[in-house]
Amino acid sequence: MTADADSASVRAYLDELAQQRRSSLHTVRSYRHDLELLCRLLAELPGEACLASVQSHHIRRFVAQLHTRGLGGRSLGRTLSAWRGFFGWLGQRGQTTHNPVDGVRPPKSPQALPKVLAPDEASRLLAAASDNLLQVRDQAMFELFYSSGLRLAELAALDLSCLDELLGGEVRVLGKRNRLRIVPVGSKARQAVASWVAQRASLAAAGEAALFVSQRGTRLGVRAIQLRLQRRGLAQGLLARVHPHMLRHSFASHVLQSSGDLRAVQEMLGHASISSTQVYTHLDFQHLAAVYDKAHPRAKRKPT
């Protein structure tokens, strides 16, 4: 294979991800970045290196190079996953005899705990007045984020067709890897959505299917949602930079603190593995430790 043939293989793989596997735009962009990075690293090797000639020691070398450039274990793990999938695809087409990424692991890095809002901060964020139509729409979106733990792309993709179920107390969303899940919707979120839908027609373009629309009447994009939430956080005096995933993390942490039901939180978040959900147990422990430090007689500092 030549460099041109390698580039053609990358394009074909990305096209399949987008068109046949229906991967999200974000996933395709991430894979494109990772595979272009692979091709650049390959070009730095001496001689006429190509994808078909890559061995496991080359992949380990690439990982070491990227690690020295500042990439952490989690980022490298995602990159290796993209490379592994690509080489597996090449193998299915007879373009490689083995997968050089198999058996290669990223360096371990400390697990960063997700940032969450305290319950009173979440209440303050959602207590803002809704003085105009855009604020009514925003209130409905932010209540849904916090009520149901939706991902940003999941909320942006909601259509009016989900309205009956949503107002009835649940919503179906298509998550990562096209996994369908049903999550509950709380009363505050249902009320906020009902208020928005009652006025939506004055903003939405004719025939627009999206539940949440922009001032132009078309589906509201993910970047616009991020910016609206960030501005709401600043307006409410929150010190942290509030983003949609922070509301998802807050939902998970607060539900786990109240219920202790890790499996239920896993189902509602749509995690394939419970190990992804267990990070919230560390947050719960931090909360309990803070309570202990304040309440336990032996934990209190003695006056000096």
Known catalytic membership, residue 271: yes
Q: How far is CA 258 from the centre of its chain?
A: 23
The catalytic position among 13, 31, 146, 151 is 151
The catalytic position among 67, 74, 176, 287 is 176
The catalytic position among 58, 84, 245, 287 is 245
CA proximity to 220, closest of 203, 235, 234: 203
The catalytic position among 13, 31, 146, 280 is 280
Known catalytic membership, residue 115: no
> How many beta carbons lie within 10 A of that of residue 86, not counting itself?
23
Known catalytic membership, residue 282: no
Known catalytic membership, residue 231: no
* Cα 184 to Cα 188: distance, rounded to the nearest angstrom: 12
Known catalytic membership, residue 241: no
Q: Classify the phi-psi angles of 177: left when phi > 0, otherwise alpha if psi is within -120 to 50, otherwise beta.
A: left
CA angle 250, 251, 256 (to 5 degrees): 100
Known catalytic membership, residue 223: no
CA proximity to 125, closest of 236, 230, 255: 236
- Count the helix, strand and coil residues of the chain and give each as a percent rounded to the nearest 5: 60, 5, 35
The catalytic position among 219, 232, 243, 248 is 248
Residues classed as catalytic: 151, 176, 245, 248, 271, 280
